[in-house]
Structure 1
Amino acid sequence: MIQAFWLTNVRLDKGFETGDDGVFHTISEICHLKIEDGKIAEIVSATEPLDTPLPQEDAKGLLALPSFVEKHNHLDKTYAGATWKSCLPPKKLIDRLEFEAKEMPLMTGTTKERAQAMLQLHIKGGATHVRTHVNIDPYIGLKNLEGVRAALEEYSDRLTYEIVAFPQQGLLRTQASSLMRQAMKEGATLVGGLDPAGIDNELEGSLREMMDIAVEADADVDIHLHDPGTLGFYTIKRLLDLTEEAGWQNRLAISHAFALGDVSMEESSDMADRLSQLGTMIMTTVPINRAMPPVPMLHAKGVQVALGYDGFYDSWSPYGTGDMLDKLNRLVERYRWVDEISLVQSLYFITGGKTTLDKDGNRAWPKVGDEASIVFAESSCSAEAIARKSRRAAVMFKGKIVHGALERMGETK
């Protein structure tokens, strides 16, 4: 096994400059990166020849980006890896849940294979971390958890992961509390929740039960909150109250949180202050058919915002590729972030907070000591990669190529 080698001729964002045309541009340079024990040990300019006995892998000018983080996913529900299957036309959420309750037990035998097919698409797109929600309910018990765990364990040399025990059919509605507690003992790492008012019809009781399970398991929380408007907004308020009461600061994520985009900007701004103070994350899938959380304002106020692809090609929708760069492209287009600084800074939302350059044009990534998890894109700079959804020629995870290939030179030591 190679412990140390050089990545040669890697393109890195260098800074910003104003061109003769008066337009702000991102500039890049070619560098060599020494990789040792899965981390970046040295960064040198490629202007001088590299004299080393270590093996080399030639990136041939490909742009390096920090690998991507997929923060909202459903590995257990996908039809990926199977022949074309029709999805269910849109209906009310409760109708979908009833359909899923019948379908899921018929699919548990292929959970591992379908999950792996989905993971392969994520890795191909550049993701080396996945947070997946897994259905826990009386209809399937822990079977989906078993299949997803098996898939993720086999891929543990290609990515890191989190598993959310997700009461898709309702925590109280299906009396899933005991199953949720068991899931937390058998591999789930976060406690999930779902519309305590809209699905469980018991806002206070559902939230308290979810938090109780989290505290017992010493686990973080990630709740799906689709409930809109005043109802959803009040749910967020109560959830933050209980978070503070339990001392669960910096351990809560709210997925979707559509209500933040339904209320007035003043109300949303006030709530953003509290979300920031409590270290609450917001996960969004960047929907195109409804209001969504006001990402620019949330980000400006210090709220951590991350993107997720959600489910793709399943009973809910035939769309999706699992490509996080495609999801980011939708976000920047939605908010018309067309200047170079905005494009480069948007990487934050799919990399776990990393950007190649800070707002002043100083290199923020990579730095010596960073994990060598890298996406190699056919692009001149990160702004172009985001705007044009540039092809990814290779993906590296902790110093190991997990998708595509780079040209290897020299002998393996």
Structure 2
Amino acid sequence: MEQKNNELSRRSFIGKASKIGGASAVLGMSGAMGLFMEDDREHVEAKQIDKQRHQKSPKKGDTYMLLNVRLESGYEYENGNGNVVATRSTIRNLEIKKGIISKILDTKEAYRRDIDCYDVQGMLLLPGFKDMHIHLDKTFYGGPWRGAVHRKNIFDIIEVEKKLLLELLPTAQERAEKLIELIMSFGSTYVRSHCNIDPTVGLRNLEKLKKALANYSDKISHEIVAFPQHGLLLSNSESLLREAMQLGATHVGGLDPTLVDGNMEKSLQTMVQIAVDNNAGIDIHLHEGGETGLKAVNRLADLTEEAGLQGKVTISHAFSLASLSPDQANEMANRLASLGISIASTIPIGKNAMPIPILQKQKVNVMLGNDSIMDHWSSLGIGDTLEKVHLAADLYGWSYEYELSQALSLATGGITPLDKAGKQVWPKVGDEASVVIVPATCSAETVARLPKRAAVLHKGVLSSGELSHVKK
């Protein structure tokens, strides 16, 4: 997978790390990391400024043309049985005006030549991707390699984290910005980030994360979940969560109400009340499996209905759903769909597979996220939402053209260029110009082969990659 432009120079960091010696041996200690950040950032910014002198790119509010864009136009079917055997495409010229697709033109039609034009050279246009579960505020990414260390249980990890968060705090904004650049390079132009709110760091991680996201506000949209990683009740974090909502968090988080908080009813009631009081959404981490987790899912569904939070609740992970029989999964999926409760998944691989195909069939909104990226919870994760779709296709046996094509919806918030009947439904004039441009012929090939993201646009602004400017 192509990553050489994704990591604000991992190799550069490693080289510098050797010069500063033992200062970063334990964790990339904050002082040593600070030395790297200041020196290396100057080097990177100088290279970026030099590159910008020679390379035009779309900015906020620009009107411009994307020439020779490949768009999917329909399916080709096998004679006799109706199986999809290929995806048709066509080449078009697109006018982008103030972040919106304003015209879609046949290549024989006249187009404006008095504005900037960028030649896409027949590459495929896809909807922008969404990373709907990630922790931008705590990561080792941007520093030297450090693998996660095995701990006995979640409480051990929480104890380790209490010390670790303070060590990472001085560089939290810089590392969040590097992670934002990483996920943008893979095509994500929308992110929902969970952010630690706990007595150890208080609201400081939130302050750092907000600054990082503000620096990329033209390139990526976001939501922030105020997340009580150390337990809403266990760490007595209700007042902190309420403050976080006033400071701009969009969702109230929660964590394993039985296993961690020790009181399912009070934990869920408290989380829901904060959401109601702040007219906010909910996104709870629910790792609990089996009957314990299912009780929490069902009770949260009850509270969602009672509090009028339909369409505003997400259950992240929801591992307990993997223990359901197909009939039970159908029944659960119908209830979740009726209440507009979403599931955010990282496509875990384990003894029991999550019933994502059943959830989708029953119209539950299933969202994907990368979760941990090189942190103390997991050493895995590369930041690519499309890779998660590829993993889902492998796990659930979606290996055919049609299945791969429709699987793209998991990365895009439900949008696919072709609907289930093969009719082109995206892009249309008036759609937001948040797109990914890839060297592929169709969505199915993109999911199967994970091509490089040549360019990524957010509301018309170049977020990552390059576009070939046509000189007038």
TM-score after normalising by structure 2: 0.84
Name the residue aligned to 2:152.
91
Amino acid in structure 2 at the alignment position of 1:62 = M
- Of 337, 342, 349, the residue aligned with 1:288 is 349
The residue aligned with 2:367 is 306
SS at match of 1:371: coil
Offset from partner CA, 1:277-306 (integer Å, 9 cap, x none)? 100000000011353431111111111001
Distance in 2, Cα, partners of 1:53 & 1:158: 25
- Are 1:265 and 2:339 an aligned pair? no
Query: Where does residue 243 of structure 2 map in the other structure?
Result: 182
- 1:392 alignment partner, SS class: coil
CA distance in 2, matches of 1:74, 1:324: 14
Tell me how many residue pairs correspond in the alignment.
411
User: Helix, strand or coil for the counterpart of 2:202?
Assistant: coil
Instruction: Tell which deviates more after alignment, 239-248 or 2-11.
Output: 2-11
Deviation (angstroms), 1:45: 2.2
Q: Return the alpha-carbon distance in structure 2 between the equivalents of residues 180 and 49 of structure 1.
A: 55
Aligned to 1:7, which of 62, 66, 70?
Answer: 66
1:115 corresponds to: 176
Between stretches 327-336 and 86-95, larger displacement belongs to 86-95
Secondary structure of the structure 2 residue equivalent to 1:99: helix
1:165-180 mapped onto 2 (5 Å cutoff): 165-180=226-241
Mapped contact 2:127–2:415 kept (Cα < 8 A): yes
User: How far off is 1:51 after superposition?
Assistant: 6.0
Say if 1:338 and 1:90 are closer, same or farther in 2 by CA, change over 3 A: farther
Amino acid at match of 1:5: Y
C-alpha deviation, 1:134, in angstroms: 0.5
Compute the displacement of 1:7 (Å). 0.5
Q: Which runs of 5+ in 2 are unaligned?
A: 1-58
Q: Which amino acid aligns with 2:206?
A: L
Q: Kindly tell me: are residues 207 and 292 of structure 1, through their superposed partners in 2, closer, same or farther at Cα, counting changes over 3 Å?
A: farther
Cα deviation, residue 397, structure 1: 1.1
- Which structure 1 residue ranges, 4+ long, deviate > 4 Å from structure 2? 19-23, 47-51
- Does the alignment pair 1:144 with 2:205? yes
Tell me the SS of whatever aligns to 1:299. helix
After the TM superposition, which residues 264-413 of structure 1 pair with which residues of structure 2 at under 5 Å, given as runs? Answer: 264-410=325-471
Deviation at 1:90, TM superposition (A): 4.9
Tell me the amino acid that sits aligned with residue 131 of structure 1. R
Of 214, 221, 237, the match for 1:160:
221
Deviation digits for residues 103-147 of structure 1 (CA, Å, limit 9, x no counterpart):
112111111011011101100000000000001111111111111
Task: Report if the CA contact (8 A) 1:224-1:257 is conserved.
Answer: yes
Residues 279, 213 of structure 1: alpha-carbon distance in 2 compared, 3 angstrom cutoff: same
CA distance in 2, matches of 1:94, 1:132: 22
C-alpha distance in 2 between matches for 1:290 and 1:246: 35
CA–CA distance in structure 1, aligned partners of residues 461 and 312 of structure 2: 31
**Letter paired with 2:205:** N
Contact residue 84 and residue 402 of structure 2 kept, 8 A: no
| Structure 1 contact 90–316 (Cα < 8 Å) conserved | no
Per-residue Cα deviation, 1:216-235 (whole angstroms, up to 9, x for no partner): 11100000100001110111
The aligned residue for residue 253 of structure 2 is 192
1:47-86 aligned within 5 A: 47=108, 50=111, 52-86=113-147
In structure 1, the gaps of 5 or more residues are none
Q: CA deviation at 1:187?
A: 2.0
Other structure's SS at 2:463 match: strand
- Matching residue within 26, 44, 54 for 2:87: 26
1:102 equivalent among 154, 159, 163:
163
User: How many angstroms does 1:259 deviate by?
Assistant: 0.7
RMSD: 1.6
> What corresponds to 2:27 in structure 1?
none
Q: Greater helix share, 1 or 2?
A: 2
